[in-house]
């Protein structure tokens, strides 16, 4: 993914606890090079420039689980419909989602072409049946959502439905359209949809129901969806959520694969965190990294939310670690 804007409508609600549109990953306004709190200790790890970025495993589950998951109007949903869209989800994992995003955003294929190529390779059209009648697949206005919707369309048509894709506006609009049955099914994200419905039904200050546990999150989502007249499918192994990246050169030099590895080796004054202005005070960004992993930082590099500014800060050696999105097409290894 080339920029963070393609995904803003998806991730704005992931992991929120009070504010309905708080950023998932970050916190207080700051400026490039702003000194972190005096808690930073030790030598830390200076940035290492490099062309390739790698995501460090969130082994303590700081981030909410935003696995791809289908949501459908309960009255229009059928076992054949859920079987078709769940087959798409089962065929995907995060590396495959990264490759699909690369095909669209880097190689400049259309979402339809990228979906057709993946469907042929993955055998998405085999073994599906029992569908009939028109189905409207919704998509948000960014490439990943459009590609997922095209994959749903291919599988649904193979099952016997007459599926079309309709690009919708923001979540407030398309979720309401799903409830009314104007859209039949939509590729969503587990934690983000959970918190959207939670705050819609229980108020903006409702205690969060999404977490880093996908099973618990989906259980909460199913209950909320039922109240809204919706039904959800099986979560895909593929996820599009906040993640933290370093350059491959850095990972190789310091032998780090997880955020726990990073904490053990790189807490301290030389370590520079890159992210949006809100990062220093968000529980899913700097505060979370400090509390959950014990990582301390010497300085903060103000950038954007998983977009080109953050990635450039990493690749040019201005930041040690930065907030990205886990399915970003630029993370493709080939």
Q: Which CATH class is domain 68-232?
A: alpha beta
- Predicted confidence (pLDDT) at residue 37 exceeds the cutoff of 70: no
* Mean pLDDT value across residues 28-39: 40
Distances (CA, A) of 56 to 109, 242, 257, 275, 305: 28, 11, 5, 15, 17
* 23 vs 182: which has the higher pLDDT: 182
**pLDDT given at position 310:** 96
Distance CA 15, CA 278 (A): 14
Locate 151 and state its tokens: 């994959």
Task: Please compute the mean of the pLDDT values over residues 48-59 and round it to a whole number.
Answer: 96
Q: How many CB atoms lie within 10 A of CB 276?
A: 24
pTM of the predicted protein model: 0.84
Residue 170: pLDDT band with limits 50, 70, 90: confident
Answer whether residue 190 shows pLDDT above 90. yes
Domain spans of the chain, in order of start? 4-63+241-331, 68-232
SS3 for the chain, per residue? Answer: CCCHHHHHHHHCCCCCCCCCCCCCCCCCCCCCCEECCCCCCCECCCCCCCCCEEEEECCCCCCCCCEEEEEEECCCCCHHHHHHHHHHHHHCCHHHHHHHHHHHHCCCCCHHHHHHHHHHHHCCCCCCCCCCCEEEEEECCCHHHHHHHHHHHHHHHHCCCEEEEEECCCHHHHHHHHHHCCCCEEEEEHHHHHHHHHHHHHCCCCCCCCCCCHHHHHHHHHHHHHHCCEEECCCCCCECCEEEEEEHHHHHHHCCCEHHHHHHHHCEEEEEEEECCCHHHCCCCHHHHHHHHCCCEEEEEECCCCCHHHHHHHHCCCCCEEEEECCCHHHCCC
For range 80-99, the mean pLDDT: 97
Task: Tell me what the mean pLDDT of segment 239-259 comes to.
Answer: 97
The whole-number average pLDDT for the span 7-21 is: 35
The residue that leads in pLDDT, 297 or 33, is: 297
Identify the sign of the CA torsion 203, 204, 207, 212.
Answer: positive
Longest pairwise C-alpha distance within the chain:
64
Which pLDDT band, with edges at 50, 70 and 90, does 62 fall under?
Answer: very high
Of the CATH numbers 3.40.309.10, 3.40.190.120, 3.40.50.150, 3.30.565.10, which one belongs to the domain with range 4-63+241-331?
3.40.190.120
Kindly tell me if the per-residue pLDDT of 35 is higher than 90: no
């Amino acid at each position: 993914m080339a920029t963070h804007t393609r995904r803003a409508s998806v991730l704005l609600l992931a992991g929120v606890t009070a504010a309905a549109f708080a950023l998932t990953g970050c916190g207080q306004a700051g400026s490039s090079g702003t000194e972190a709190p005096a808690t930073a200790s030790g030598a830390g790890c200076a940035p290492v420039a490099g062309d390739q970025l790698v995501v460090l495993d969130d082994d303590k589950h700081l981030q909410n689980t935003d696995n791809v998951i289908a949501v459908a109007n309960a009255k229009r949903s059928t076992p054949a419909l859920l079987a078709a869209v769940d087959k798409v989800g089962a065929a995907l994992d995060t590396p495959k989602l990264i490759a699909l995003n690369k095909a669209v955003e880097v190689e400049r294929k259309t979402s339809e072409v990228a979906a057709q190529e993946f469907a042929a390779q993955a055998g998405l059209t085999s073994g599906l049946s029992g569908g009939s009648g028109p189905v409207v697949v919704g998509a948000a206005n960014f490439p990943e959502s459009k590609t997922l919707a095209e994959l749903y369309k291919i599988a649904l048509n193979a099952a016997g439905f007459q599926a079309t894709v309709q690009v919708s506006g923001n979540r407030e609009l398309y979720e309401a359209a799903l409830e009314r049955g104007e859209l039949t099914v939509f590729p969503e994200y587990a934690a983000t949809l959970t918190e959207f419905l939670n705050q819609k039904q229980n108020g903006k200050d409702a205690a969060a129901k999404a977490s880093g546990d996908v099973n618990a999150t989906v259980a909460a989502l199913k209950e909320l969806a039922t109240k809204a007249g919706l039904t959800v499918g099986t979560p895909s192994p593929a996820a599009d959520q906040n993640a933290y990246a370093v350059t491959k050169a850095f990972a190789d030099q310091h032998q780090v694969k997880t955020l726990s590895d990073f904490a053990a080796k790189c807490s301290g004054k030389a370590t520079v965190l890159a992210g949006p202005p809100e990062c220093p005070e968000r529980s899913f960004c700097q505060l979370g990294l400090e509390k959950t992993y014990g990582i301390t930082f010497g300085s903060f590099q103000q950038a954007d939310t998983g977009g080109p500014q953050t990635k450039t800060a990493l690749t040019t050696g201005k930041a040690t670690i930065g907030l990205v999105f886990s399915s970003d097409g630029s993370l493709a290894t080939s």
